[in-house]
Amino acid sequence: MKKKKLIKKIYDFYSDDLTSKELENTLFRETPVRYRYYLKELEKSGDIQTGKSGFFSKIKTFTKAFLVKLSPVIRIFYTGAIAAFIFAWLSDNWNLAVLTFIIMNFILIYEIAEKLTSRDELKVARDLQISLIPKKPPHDDFFEISYYYETAKVVGGDFIDFINKKENVYNISTGDISGKGMSAALYMIQVRLLMRQLTDQFDNPKSVLKALNKNVFRHIKKGLYFSSILTEVNRNKLKICRAGHSPVLFYEKSTGICREIRQNGMAVGLCDGELFDNSLEEVEIETSSGDIIFYYSDGLTESMNSLKEEFGLDKVKDILCGNFFQSAEDLKTVFLTEINKFIGYSEVHDDITLIILKAK
């Protein structure tokens, strides 16, 4: 009975937080990515010839790449422990083999302690970033609203926000900070807060983006740039201003045509003054029942499969036209199903953001 309880405790310890999706990602997506990471590091140093293939060649390459990433002192101790383990095994000295095995594990624990701390810090950053993403869309008598946000890494540079002004009037802001990872995430938080503050001070999207660009040059790191779209939703009318972001798609039910709302506007942070201000163009749209407004980041259209083929804008339009009868939430589900099917186990290179408005 005690033995069964012990086995159950061990089983629960290893399986409680394990999901089939996590196992699948580790085996088929993360492992090749990490192997390529080590390989790339060795290619940079010119230490390997990448033309060789075969199982043992790959094992040798991976082992060398792993050792290169260890600190010099730990690398010496770890290699010495491996050599001692091999000697113990060949000489049938199992006491020494057990001892060297324990030493190797302690060395690894010591080495990865800093990385585990960094991972915990990244988790805190991710939790903070996720807390800034709206938990639900604003109530709207004229539109069904659905949205999706997923980072390629632990944290990302895409942002979305809904800023309420009054009943059935609110702003939608979405954008893509240049770069990836922690730096992009930190700038994303700054930009989001700045956008909210400026929205309270100016009446239209174009004025807000002008002021945002000025403040980026004044208060945020020089050289930072990002694309953005700011939309004012007022009942069934939308006022849209685009600053270098992927153009909004507009599916018009009466014609059955999905078109891009292409307007001028360069990315925020590229240049200051009149050149940026004059580049912006504001467009107004009045929607009818069944029309769909679709916002997306380039992480959607530029997602690649194992053959290095991009998902592409044409596929996005086909999905919209073929599923116009779906609700906004169901349409989001269709997109996520299609993109996951397309990507398969390939590495995700960029954040994916989408917002769907469907006129009631």
Domain layout of the chain by residue ranges: 20-127, 140-359
Angle (deg, nearest 10), helices 31-45 and 55-69:
70
Report how far residue 35's alpha carbon sits from residue 32's, in angstroms, rounded to the nearest whole number: 5
Q: What integer pLDDT is reported at residue 109 of this predicted model? A: 81
Half-sphere exposure of 280 (CA within 13 A, CB side): 29
What are 37-50's pLDDT values in tens digits? 666 655 665 555 54
The CATH number of 140-359, from 3.60.40.10, 1.10.10.10, 2.30.30.100, 3.90.960.10, is 3.60.40.10
Q: What integer pLDDT is reported at residue 3 of this predicted model? A: 63
Please indicate whether residue 318 or residue 152 has the higher confidence score (pLDDT).
Answer: 318
What are 133-177's pLDDT values in tens digits? 888 999 899 999 999 998 877 777 888 999 998 888 999 999 998
Please indicate whether residue 125 or residue 35 has the higher confidence score (pLDDT).
Answer: 125
CB atoms within 10 A of CB 260: 13
Q: How far apart are the first and last CA of the chain?
A: 62
Region of poorest pLDDT, from 113-117, 205-209, 297-301: 113-117
DSSP state letter for 247: P
Q: What integer pLDDT is reported at residue 230 of this predicted model? A: 95
- pTM given for the model: 0.77
Q: Is the dihedral of CA 170, 175, 177, 181 positive or negative?
A: positive
